Structure 1
Amino acid sequence: GKYIGEGFDLPKLDTLFLALPISWKGSLAQYAGRIHRQFSGKERVMIYDYVDENLPTLQRMFQRRVKGYDAMGYTLIYPEKELSLVQKKMDLSGMK
């Protein structure tokens, strides 16, 4: 969190690996916003959300993030139940 918090700006980023247990939609939106900066040639962004399914508390936090992803318009993909992959294609012409 402290490394990509307030003031962080690297527009060419298009991928986020989320491996920390957060559940607040505001934090999720802030992290996701870091990869939504406009950059020439960027066509989509991806968030890889890692979840420890053996810990109920972390499962509940993930379920809250799922609601946040849904509110932001992401499509969730669950390949082989090993990794939660969140993908959203960007309309760069509409980004500001």
Structure 2
Amino acid sequence: MSRRRYLFAYDIANPFRLRKTCDVFESHGTRLQYSVFLCHLTRAELEILQYRLINIIDPTEDSIIRIDLGPQHSPADVHQIGRPRHLPHTGPQII
């Protein structure tokens, strides 16, 4: 299965929904900033993630932005300024 890299950023108004949203992202990706995650996902994993998020957020108060960074084998460059972050390596990983 082909994986793509996605950058997600969210703004959740309610503390309970915020914690649940964060938990979902922590199970699917790597935190880059407080409300920004980098995820390497197959199409099926993306669908599962989106389904879980839709069932948590209130679309009248909350927002989630997804940016497609491209295929994992040819990803968009992610540059950092300042304190370095340990970004996930491309390719399969055993955790």
Give the TM-score normalised by the residue count of structure 1: 0.29
Whose RCO is larger (CA < 8 A, sep 6+)?
Answer: 2
Query: When you count helix as a share of all residues, which structure comes out higher?
Result: 1
- What is the TM-score of this pair, normalised by structure 2? 0.29
